[in-house]
Structure 1
């Protein structure tokens, strides 16, 4: 003969639910951590992307004189900045819908369920002890049977009362689990939908300009190929010529629009005690002889008015090809 209390038959279902809650808690904790990692990686991506856009805008400022490049970089820079804003909204939604919402569910609802489970386990243990004592009570000791039966009755009532509350909480948790998980993921996927829709709309508006730019680039490639062939042809012609200092002729234009008649590098002897020679960029412009150490330096005037001067070779200097400019005053 065996005794098999009816309560044991119902405990199997509760044990299954409890196991499921433990596993769900672990999976949700893992998902929250993965979401946190995704958000942190997203923040790094956004920061790096901001630096890239800043670089695009710096390049645009540098290329202000080339309207085609400047316009392209400005348009693309603005679009990329908008994409960064969309990314920020997406990761913010992930923070609120997945990480925060599921974290709160685990922290509040699941943890509260686990506390109730501890109380339920304690009462269940008490009832099991009462069942054992009731089963062990001998027939020939009526007072022990009566005491064991009374204890079991009280314990069973307490267990059933708490079990009803516990089962209710299980059902509520199961329903809320379903809602929280589905709502969090639905909100996140809505954010994904909005992100890609906004990105599509942004790039769709930019598409006509990109197509126009692509056509212009195709023409640039053709023009560049033509120019390259012309330059190669000129280079081949130049290589066939015999250039020497004796045969070369200096070309100059007295009617040049910028006033520069002639320009090029010369070695200038310093007026200091060492009489050192320094290479400078000289030019004849507006009837003056001027030079610069570097291209952006201020012009230094050597001779105020070349029309009042004469030029003669210097035969008494070791270096070849030397000349001097003689003015009325210097």
Structure 2
């Protein structure tokens, strides 16, 4: 029910019903006045809290700004430089957000508190003053009326006329006070609809503007965040490589060898362990699985309800099932399936070999037919000694190298390569990665050092890097990107003369050199000097070039091309590191370090 209407004509009647309706309005004004007081109090508390929060964030931002990363080693990689600058980027972002918050706090008093206080004092206060005047005139009028009615009729006519005139005057004053009070009450009730609500709307608009500014800043921060995540992943990979080498050194010093074996306790009886790929690695979770051969319906129910709190069941349509090779994964009893609802393969693990055969028979599973180069995680798993020695014997016979095979009991990727590539010049490779940030300079430096190697060493190096280039071109399947290959082969190809912790910290530069060798294999192995080749490229126009790697265009003015593509009409571009060329009738920009001049 809303408030009852007050009619001006009721002021003349002044009935009990009119008085009751008037009390309803007065009660509502008192309630509104109390609410505004509480709202002003809470608003001041909110502004104080925002001011304290802003001060805390500014202090936090200042701490980030003042902190300086210090990395181990004489020089830093590009990834480490970017990570060291990340705190300052975070600080700048927080400062930008706080500038908008400070504007919100500065305007909050004028936008919210002042208008509310003004409405309470001027409007509701005026209504209260009207009530006081109305009550005063009411008491005065009815007192005068009572005395007037008690006058004797025997009084003189002149006296009675004067009394009538006085009561009429008092009645008029009462009516005026009643009408003004009724008008003021209704005026305040109507004004509160907009003068009371508008300040709240303005304050919320300022708050939403602050939140929108935060959203815009987050959108602008996204590219930097993605680049930083890439840098963090690279440093994580370098850390893993460095940690392994440092741990080996520590174990040799302590003369204690400890082989880590992953646990293999799995459950069967309808249960399978499913491999789930996540940004920080792969995890295995237990699922209760069912398969219907007639409909090819495969269901998985997650039995680990600790995190989600409820059981989730997924249903798929099976496409194929293939047994997983033992040497292609570090888990036993695994097989891969393909389903309609997901892209790629799902890797499952059974409890035993017998249980895996039952699943393969039920799903019409097949034996794996795939190239070794497509094996996921290639070169991350050590080889069998007998196979390693056989492979080394074959390679060394072709290269006419006299070496005692029985003394090589480590993996192929350690002592064999170390023997063939050991040379003072090659050990200094990692220093060229810190000389300059120019990629072309680094390639030229590596080129010069490679061609100072003895012929046998250089021949073995070219044979290895050529194979790694082939491996990297299949990184979509084997997950061995150029960066991953650098992490694996960097410590092997450029092992330090002294195994110390300081030397282990330079592994990150060794990884960069291996990446340069793989990415610029053709340039590094060709006989003429790269600096001359670069000058010839800059002044050559209209010549033909060939793509050493495939490339996917990211913008409309760039060209997409496969490995081995031939380009014509080649011109230097105004953008450093890019060329303008024509391929299949289309002209656009191509990266200079992806091609070779014919």
Q: Under a length normalisation based on structure 1, what TM-score does the superposition of the two structures give?
A: 0.63
Pairwise CA distance, 1:131? 4.4
Go from structure 1 to structure 2 and tell me whether the alpha carbon gap of 1:60 and 1:99 turns closer, same or farther (over 3 Å shift): farther
Go from structure 1 to structure 2 and tell me whether the alpha carbon gap of 1:18 and 1:93 turns closer, same or farther (over 3 Å shift): same
Rounded to whole Å, the distance in 2 between the matches of 1:225 and 1:108 is: 72
Go from structure 1 to structure 2 and tell me whether the alpha carbon gap of 1:219 and 1:136 turns closer, same or farther (over 3 Å shift): farther
Please tell me whether residue 232 in structure 1 is matched to residue 244 in structure 2: no
Pairwise CA distance, 1:119? 1.4
Question: Which digits, 9 at most, give the CA deviation of each residue in 1:148-176, with x for residues without a partner?
Answer: 76554332211111222222222222222
Please tell me whether residue 89 in structure 1 is matched to residue 103 in structure 2: yes
CA contact (8 A) 2:83 2:232 kept: no
Please tell me whether residue 197 in structure 1 is matched to residue 197 in structure 2: no
Go from structure 1 to structure 2 and tell me whether the alpha carbon gap of 1:130 and 1:165 turns closer, same or farther (over 3 Å shift): same
Rounded to whole Å, the distance in 2 between the matches of 1:84 and 1:35 is: 19
Please tell me whether residue 6 in structure 1 is matched to residue 20 in structure 2: no
Show structure 1 runs of 5+ residues with no match: 242-256, 258-330
Please tell me whether residue 29 in structure 1 is matched to residue 43 in structure 2: no
Matched with 1:59 is 67
Rounded to whole Å, the distance in 2 between the matches of 1:40 and 1:230 is: 54
Rounded to whole Å, the distance in 2 between the matches of 1:126 and 1:232 is: 101
Question: Which digits, 9 at most, give the CA deviation of each residue in 1:224-259, with x for residues without a partner?
Answer: 223222211111112129xxxxxxxxxxxxxxx9xx
Pairwise CA distance, 1:182? 1.3
Rounded to whole Å, the distance in 1 between the matches of 2:142 and 2:154 is: 23
From 52, 56, 59, the equivalent of 1:48 is: 56
Please tell me whether residue 111 in structure 1 is matched to residue 125 in structure 2: yes
Secondary structure, counterpart of 1:179 in structure 2: coil
Greater RCO, CA 8 A, separation 6+: 1
Secondary structure, counterpart of 1:178 in structure 2: coil
Rounded to whole Å, the distance in 2 between the matches of 1:16 and 1:46 is: 44
From 116, 124, 143, the equivalent of 2:138 is: 124
CA contact (8 A) 1:130 1:148 kept: no
CA RMSD, 1 decimal? 3.0
Rounded to whole Å, the distance in 2 between the matches of 1:61 and 1:169 is: 68
Secondary structure, counterpart of 1:160 in structure 2: helix
Question: Which digits, 9 at most, give the CA deviation of each residue in 1:182-240, with x for residues without a partner?
Answer: 10111011111111111100111001211221233233323322322221111111212
Q: Which has the higher helix share?
A: 1
Rounded to whole Å, the distance in 1 between the matches of 2:46 and 2:167 is: 54
Rounded to whole Å, the distance in 2 between the matches of 1:129 and 1:16 is: 26
- Give aligned pairs, total: 238
Rounded to whole Å, the distance in 1 between the matches of 2:83 and 2:175 is: 79
Go from structure 1 to structure 2 and tell me whether the alpha carbon gap of 1:135 and 1:8 turns closer, same or farther (over 3 Å shift): farther
CA contact (8 A) 2:119 2:196 kept: no
Matched with 1:15 is 23
Please tell me whether residue 186 in structure 1 is matched to residue 194 in structure 2: no
Larger radius of gyration: 1
Please tell me whether residue 79 in structure 1 is matched to residue 87 in structure 2: no
Matched with 2:114 is 100
CA contact (8 A) 2:83 2:228 kept: no
1:240-259 equivalence runs, <5 A: 240=255
Rounded to whole Å, the distance in 1 between the matches of 2:241 and 2:160 is: 113
Report the more deviating stretch, 37-46 or 110-119: 110-119
1:284-299 equivalence runs, <5 A: none
Go from structure 1 to structure 2 and tell me whether the alpha carbon gap of 1:60 and 1:170 turns closer, same or farther (over 3 Å shift): farther
Rounded to whole Å, the distance in 1 between the matches of 2:163 and 2:27 is: 32
Go from structure 1 to structure 2 and tell me whether the alpha carbon gap of 1:148 and 1:14 turns closer, same or farther (over 3 Å shift): farther
Pairwise CA distance, 1:179? 1.4
Matched with 2:372 is none
Go from structure 1 to structure 2 and tell me whether the alpha carbon gap of 1:61 and 1:130 turns closer, same or farther (over 3 Å shift): farther
Report the more deviating stretch, 16-25 or 108-117: 108-117
CA contact (8 A) 1:90 1:191 kept: yes
Go from structure 1 to structure 2 and tell me whether the alpha carbon gap of 1:222 and 1:161 turns closer, same or farther (over 3 Å shift): same
CA contact (8 A) 1:133 1:148 kept: no
Pairwise CA distance, 1:139? 7.7
Rounded to whole Å, the distance in 2 between the matches of 1:38 and 1:157 is: 50
From 31, 38, 48, the equivalent of 2:46 is: 38
Rounded to whole Å, the distance in 2 between the matches of 1:89 and 1:36 is: 16
Rounded to whole Å, the distance in 2 between the matches of 1:29 and 1:151 is: 44
Matched with 1:207 is 222
